[in-house]
Structure 1
Amino acid sequence: MARRYDPDRRRRIIDAAIRVVGERGIAGLSHRSVAAEAGVPLGSTTYHFATLDDLLVAALRQANEGFAQSIKDSPLFAAPAPEPEADPGSGAAAEPGRGAGPGSGAGPATSAALADELSRLLEVWLSGDRTLIELDYDLYLAALRREAVRPIAAEWVDQATALLATHTDPATARALIALIDGICLQVLLTGGTYDRAYAREMFTRLLG
C-alpha cells in the first residue's frame, strides 16, 4: 500500500514536540512521546528528526520565530510603508516624512518611545497564561547542556538584537535583550507579578 502524502507531517511533529516540552519539560521529550502526541508512527519522527537534538533545534527555531514575530508586529518595528510617489504631471516631489510615526520610515524612535514599547511587549508576554513563554525559555535554556542547540539560541539573540538596533546602537540593543531575558526569568522563576513601570524605568536607564 502506497504511503499517503502528508506534507504537513514534519510541522505537526514539531508542534507535538513543543506541546510535550510544555507539559512534561525537556526530560519528557522522546521520539516515542512526540509520535504519540502527534498521532504519527514512531518511524515518522525518526525519519524527519534522527536525534532528539535535531527535534529540539527545530522546536527552538519555531519558538524563536514566534518571539521575533511579536517584535516585528509591534508598530515600532513594523516595516516602513513605501513613500508615496510624486505625481509625474504635478512636478511636485512627495512630501518627505509624510505620515511619519512608528514603523513609517520616520527614523529611529526616541529612547522614551523604545522603553515604553519594550515594557509593553513584556507585559503582553507575561500577562495571563505564561505557559508559552515558559516553554520558550525551557527550550532556550536547553542549549546550556546541548551543544547542537546553542547556535539556535544564539540566532534568537542575534535576530532580536538586529531588530532593536534599528532604534539604537548594536551594543545597547544586545544589552536590552539581556535585560529582557533577565526580567522575564525573574518573573517566571519567582512567580511574581510583572511591573511595567519598573521595566520601563530600567529600559530608560539603559538607553541613557
Structure 2
Amino acid sequence: MPSTPRRARRHDPNRKERIVEAALLVLARDGVAGITHRAIGTAADVPLGSITYHFATLDDIVALAFQTHVDRLASRFEDRLAACESGPDVIECIVSAITDDLAAHPNELAVTYELYGDTVRRPDNKRLTQQWMVRAEDALAQHFDRATARLVDVVVEGLMVHISIAQQPISKQEVRALLTTAVSAGASLDSMPQPRTGSTSPRKTTAR
C-alpha cells in the first residue's frame, strides 16, 4: 500500500509578525476580552500549534501586540513632527496627527483605547504607556520648551480618548484651538518662577 505523501511544510518566515498583526486586528475588533488562540489563528490564517510555538501565553501575544502598536504610533508622531517647522506649522502638524492619522488608521484608535483600559487593570502596561508619553513629549520638545511639550502631550492624550468614544468627532478647528491654548498656557507656566528648593526656616509665631 503506497504511503500518503507528506504535506509540504509551508515556508513562512514572517509568521510571528503575522500573528502579532492578527492580534492587533482582534484587539481592535473584539478588545482584550476577545483575544483567544482561535480568534488569532483565524485572523492570521495559521494553525493553533503555530501560535503556541511562538508564544507561551496569550498575555505574551497581547504584550508584544501592544508594544508593536506603541512603537508604530510613536514613530509616526516623531516622523511627522520632525518634518515640521517650528511655529504655527507645528500646530498644524499636530492637528493632522490627531485627526488625519487617526482617521486613516481607525483600528489603531481602538487598540489605543484598549491599551488605556488594560493599563488600569494591569499596571505592568504602564511601561508601554510611559514609553509612548516620553517619546511624544521628546518629539514635542524639539519645537517647544519642556513645560509646553508636557502640557500639549496631555491635551493630545485627552483628545485621542475623546475621539475614540465621541459620537460626534471634534472638528479640526476645535483641535487647533485647544492646542493653541495649551501652547500659550505652557509658555506662561515656563515663565513662572520656580519654587525654591532646600530647607525653609520655620515660621515665627506670635505669643498671645
Scaled by the length of structure 2, what TM-score is found? Answer: 0.75
More divergent stretch after superposition (15-24 vs 50-59): 50-59
1:194 corresponds to: 170
1:90 corresponds to: none
Output aligned runs, 1:1-208, within 5 Å. 5-74=11-80, 76-78=81-83, 102=84, 109-110=86-87, 112-127=88-103, 130-208=106-184
Answer with 1 or 2: which has the greater Rg. Answer: 2
Counterpart CA distance in 1 for 2:64 and 2:78 is 21
Contact kept? 1:172, 1:207, Cα under 8 Å: yes
Counterpart CA distance in 2 for 1:137 and 1:22 is 9
Query: What amino acid maps onto 2:140 in structure 1?
Result: L
Structure 1 residue 13, shift from structure 2 partner: 0.4
Higher helix share: 2
Structure 1 residue 3, shift from structure 2 partner: 6.0
Scaled by the length of structure 1, what TM-score is found? Answer: 0.75
Query: Can you give the 5+ residue segments of structure 2 that lack an aligned partner in the other structure?
Result: 1-5, 185-208
Structure 1 residue 198, shift from structure 2 partner: 1.6
Contact kept? 1:123, 1:196, Cα under 8 Å: yes
Give me the CA root mean square deviation: 2.3
SS in structure 2 of the partner of residue 73 of structure 1: helix
Counterpart CA distance in 2 for 1:129 and 1:183 is 16
SS in structure 2 of the partner of residue 194 of structure 1: coil
Counterpart CA distance in 1 for 2:137 and 2:45 is 38
Counterpart CA distance in 2 for 1:151 and 1:68 is 14
Contact kept? 1:57, 1:148, Cα under 8 Å: no
Query: What amino acid maps onto 1:47 in structure 2?
Result: Y
Contact kept? 1:187, 1:193, Cα under 8 Å: yes
Number of residue pairs aligned between Structure 1 and Structure 2: 178
Structure 1 residue 164, shift from structure 2 partner: 1.0
Query: What amino acid maps onto 1:166 in structure 2?
Result: Q
Higher relative contact order (CA 8 A, sep 6+): 1
